[in-house]
Amino acid sequence: MANTMHFDLVSPERSLASLEVTAVQIPGADGDMTAMPDHAPTITTLRPGLLKVEAPEGSSEYLVTGGFAQINGDSLSVLAEKAVPVSEITRSHMDELIAEARASHEAAKGGDDMSIVDEAAKLLADMEALGTHMSL
Amino acid sequence: MPSLKDLKNRIESVKSTRKITKAMQMVAAAKLRRAQESAEASRPYAERFNAVMAGLAASVGGSDSAPKLLRGTGSDDVHLLVVMTAERGLCGGFNSNIAKLARQKAEELRGKGKTVKILTVGKKGRDALKRDFGDLFVGHVDLSEVKRLGYSNAQDIAKDILSRFDGGEFDVATIFYAKFVNVVTQIPTAQQVIPASFEESEGDDSGAIFDYEPSEEAILADLLPKGVATAIFSALLENGASEQGARMSAMDNATRNAGEMIDKLTIQFNRSRQAVITNELIEIISGAEAL
């Protein structure tokens, strides 16, 4: 069994990471999951959250929103609409994201489609939890 | 025959024109490099995205439960043409080539009795199509304030298009942009984004059977709108690189033409100056002889 697999993190604007990793924790739409080498091939959509990457050289964390992850046995690609290394995130960054989530929540409230409202509320809660988690 | 002073003024004015075109060429060259870099940076995302979507679309696409964005509305009576051009001119045939392609398509569709609606991105395309199709415009996206194209710009455009689609305003959407090949070649391209069509990628882990979380349908429904944004983003970046490439070669030509013109005018100037001198000499000599 291979100890590492290839991991790619790409956003539309740039490619953020491409390296060999031992495990990656993915914020999947149905809950977090950790992908390790020889994981069953899976495609999952992402909810906004933290992506934790563990590589032999050390671990790193990224904030990702929207997109999906494609897991093969020997490689893992995460395509996120927005991806930022946690070390680069500042309070104002976070505020911006929360404000965005709140705005879409407010916009959705006006509509009559309850599922959209729920989704937006969940997004907002996710965002706020994330901010607290990073103690910003 | 223009006077010496006139010629001198002409030469000066052409010289300053040459300075301007030279400067524009260099600016375009610098911007081109940046535009190419961002176009290249976006490529891995678009490629992987399309590969996954192609797989998904192939497995779900046939069924009736497939999302409307993939299946289409069932008719193709109303077409939305999204014409993406530059905000500025002075870039050779770049804008007019895109406009020409869009015009052909619009006329072809109208000839078949379809309804055509046009959404323009970038001022120049709007200006070019206004006279013939002004009454078909349904919207305009202004990017003149945007310094550096980001994914959010594409998302905004995609959101606009998708809300129109949800509102039943059109059945088929096609985007028009110029594909960047190299500095001298940009190919005006039409690409259909709704209903989405994905090219089957060759051999790219198509053998693997994936687990889907949540379901295939849910993922597809979630990703299709993002596919529209991705397609628009790549088109915007290609367009950005094409625009700078076209401007660079247009300004290179202009600089060269100005140089040729300066040479020609300088020769003319020297000849007329010599003629004036010869004339004066003849007058002096014949005056002296008459004494």
Amino acid at position B74, single letter: G
Q: Is the pLDDT confidence value at B153 over 70?
A: yes
- Residue A47: per-residue pLDDT: 83
DSSP string, chain B: ---HHHHHHHHHHHHHHHHHHHHHHHHHHHHHHHHHHHHHHHHHHHHHHHHHHHHHHHHHTTSTTS-HHHH--S---EEEEEEE--S---STTHHHHHHHHHHHHHHHHHHTT-EEEEEEESHHHHHHHHHHHGGGEEEEE--TT-SS--HHHHHHHHHHHHHHHHTTS-SEEEEEEEEE-SSS-EEEEEEEEES---PPPSSSSTTPPPEEES-HHHHHHHHHHHHHHHHHHHHHHHHHHHHHHHHHHHHHHHHHHHHHHHHHHHHHHHHHHHHHHHHHHHHHHHHHHH-
Whether residue A75 is found in the same domain as residue A112: no
Q: Is the pLDDT confidence value at B26 over 90?
A: yes
Whether residue A31 is found in the same domain as residue A51: yes
More confident residue, A133 or A32: A32
B35, closest residue in chain A (CA to CA)? A13
More confident residue, B77 or B62: B77
**Of B48, B211, B218, which has the smallest distance from its Cβ to A10's Cβ?**
B48
Whether residue A74 is found in the same domain as residue A27: yes
Whether residue A109 is found in the same domain as residue A43: no
A2 — pLDDT class (breaks 50, 70, 90): low
Whether residue A74 is found in the same domain as residue A100: no
Q: Is the pLDDT confidence value at B267 over 80?
A: yes
* R_g of chain A computed on alpha carbons: 16
Does B209 touch chain A if contact means CB atoms closer than 8 Å? yes
Ordered structural domains, chain B, with CATH? 42-247 (3.40.1380.10)
Q: Do A41 and B208 touch (CB under 8 A)?
A: yes
A-proximal residues of B, 45-84, CB under 8 Å: 45-46, 48-49, 52, 56
A100 — pLDDT class (breaks 50, 70, 90): confident
A13 — pLDDT class (breaks 50, 70, 90): confident
Q: Do B102 and B122 touch, CB atoms closer than 8 A?
A: no
Q: Do B209 and A67 touch (CB under 8 A)?
A: no
If you count them, how many residues does chain B have? 291
B273 — pLDDT class (breaks 50, 70, 90): very high
pLDDT tens for A58-85 read: 888 888 888 889 888 788 989 988 888 8
Q: Do B219 and A11 touch (CB under 8 A)?
A: no
Q: Do A44 and B213 touch (CB under 8 A)?
A: yes
A92 — pLDDT class (breaks 50, 70, 90): confident
Amino acid at position B99, single letter: A
CB environment A46-78: b (16+ within 10 A), e (fewer): bbbbbbbbbbeeeebbbbbbbbbbbbbeeebbb
Whether residue A104 is found in the same domain as residue A81: no
- Residue B203: per-residue pLDDT: 46
Whether residue A55 is found in the same domain as residue A111: no
Q: Do A100 and A86 touch, CB atoms closer than 8 A?
A: no
Among residues A28, A68, A49, A29, the alpha carbon closest in space to that of B226 is found at A68
- Residue A111: per-residue pLDDT: 57
Whether residue A69 is found in the same domain as residue A19: yes
Whether residue A93 is found in the same domain as residue A28: no
Could you tell me the pTM of the whole model? 0.84
Whether residue A15 is found in the same domain as residue A54: yes
pLDDT tens for A16-54 read: 888 899 999 998 888 888 988 888 888 888 888 888 899
Question: Average pLDDT over chain B, rounded to whole?
Answer: 87
Residue B212 a catalytic site member: no
Cα four-point dihedral sign B12, B13, B17, B20: positive
- Residue A57: per-residue pLDDT: 85
User: Looking at residue A10, which CATH number applies to its domain?
Assistant: 2.60.15.10
Whether residue A10 is found in the same domain as residue A56: yes
Q: Do B219 and A45 touch (CB under 8 A)?
A: yes
Number of domains in chain A: 2
CA distance B154 to chain A (A): 10
**Alpha-carbon span B66 to B60, nearest angstrom:** 6
CA distance A5 to chain B (A): 16
Q: Do B11 and B265 touch, CB atoms closer than 8 A?
A: yes
| 3 state SS of A110 | helix
Q: Do B45 and A10 touch (CB under 8 A)?
A: yes
CA distance A45 to chain B (A): 6
Task: Tell me how far CA of residue A31 lies from CA of A118, B144, B274, in angstroms.
Answer: 16, 42, 89
Whether residue A105 is found in the same domain as residue A116: yes
- Residue B56: per-residue pLDDT: 79
ipTM attached to this prediction: 0.76
| 3 state SS of A87 | helix
pLDDT tens for B227-254 read: 888 899 999 999 999 999 999 999 999 9
Lowest mean pLDDT among B102-106, B164-168, B216-220, B271-275: B216-220
pLDDT tens for B88-135 read: 888 888 999 999 999 999 999 999 988 899 999 989 988 889 888 888
Of residues B52, B91, B102, B229, which has the active-site annotation? B91
Range of the structural domain that residue A52 is part of: 5-87
pLDDT tens for B163-202 read: 998 888 888 999 999 999 888 889 999 988 888 877 654 4
- Residue B81: per-residue pLDDT: 92
- Residue B276: per-residue pLDDT: 94
B-proximal residues of A, 59-118, CB under 8 Å: 66-68, 70, 72, 77, 79, 81-82
Cβ contacts of A43 on chain B, cutoff 8 Å: 52, 56, 210-213, 219
